[in-house]
Structure 1
Amino acid sequence: MIHLSKTALKEVSRLKAKQNNPDAVFRVGIGAGSCASFGYTLQFDSSVGAEDTVFESNGLRVVVDRASLNYLDGLTIDYSEDLMGGAFRFHNPNATATCGCSNAFEVERDRANSV
């Protein structure tokens, strides 16, 4: 399951309103990381694939593809602002190491090879 904090939900809802697509889903995935093996991807999508898993988080439909789910199950997404601006923060119980920005992570080799 993917969890969004109240502040993350508020920011995602604000960004979704700009999409002019009320049926868009919030897609969370993984890609190549800049300073670690994996990085998080966030985007809005107009469709849900047959192999996607859909979660409800405070009324928002969150979609994760099957390949990413093994790395992201239990992920909490937060959003915070400071003097430098706002950013999403990721708290991933599957990560064995993260970079300083929390946007890239490593996992145990066994977990990485099981996908």
Structure 2
Amino acid sequence: MATARPRPQVMRLTDAAAERIKELMAKSERPIAGLRVGVRNGGCAGMAYTMEYAEAANPTDEIVEDKGVRILIDPKAVLFLLGTEMDYKVDKLSAQFVFNNPNQTSACGCGESVQLTPAQGEGAEAAAH
């Protein structure tokens, strides 16, 4: 009898990203169930990452718990985000969340949008089920 393989974790957070998300959620005036992360069509490279507070999880959301933070991922974005590490970078001129995504094939010059291809292979098959 075959045993089910554990599903791969779609995304993971660096310590810096987890701490920043916790700080932002603590300042919210309403209860937050998690941070919804996804992708949308747009920008000069074709796609852009999206982030928003979620008051509740949707029944079809992929839920990732990492470092004390709950990330809710739209099911249409799972294959585009599989294997992604979300980081938070601070430098002299900016502070921003950064997505280190193995599915990213290029980005626009301004950094606002990216070109993504769906994940392929064994991990992608497990995540899609």
Q: TM-score, normalised on structure 2?
A: 0.76
Supply the distance in 2 between the matched residues of 1:102 and 1:57 (Cα, whole angstroms).
26
Are the equivalent residues in 1 in contact too, given 2:33–2:57 (CA < 8 A)? no
Out of 20, 39, 48, which is 1:39 matched to?
Answer: 48
Q: 1:102 to 1:92 in 2, by over 3 A?
A: farther
How far did residue 33 of structure 1 move? 3.2
- Larger radius of gyration, structure 1 or 2? 2
Report the count of equivalent residues.
Answer: 110
Q: Deviations over 1:43-100 (max 9, x none)?
A: 1101111111101111111110110111111111111111112111111111111234
Query: What is the root-mean-square deviation in Å for CA atoms of aligned residues?
Result: 1.9
Show structure 1 runs of 5+ residues with no match. none
Are the equivalent residues in 2 in contact too, given 1:36–1:99 (CA < 8 A)? yes
Show structure 2 runs of 5+ residues with no match. 1-9, 120-129
Out of 4, 10, 14, which is 2:13 matched to?
Answer: 4
Between the aligned residues of both structures, percent identity stands at 32
The answer on 1:58 being equivalent to 2:67 is yes
Task: Give runs of ≥4 in structure 1 deviating > 6 Å.
Answer: none
Are the equivalent residues in 2 in contact too, given 1:89–1:103 (CA < 8 A)? no
Out of 70, 76, 98, which is 1:67 matched to?
Answer: 76
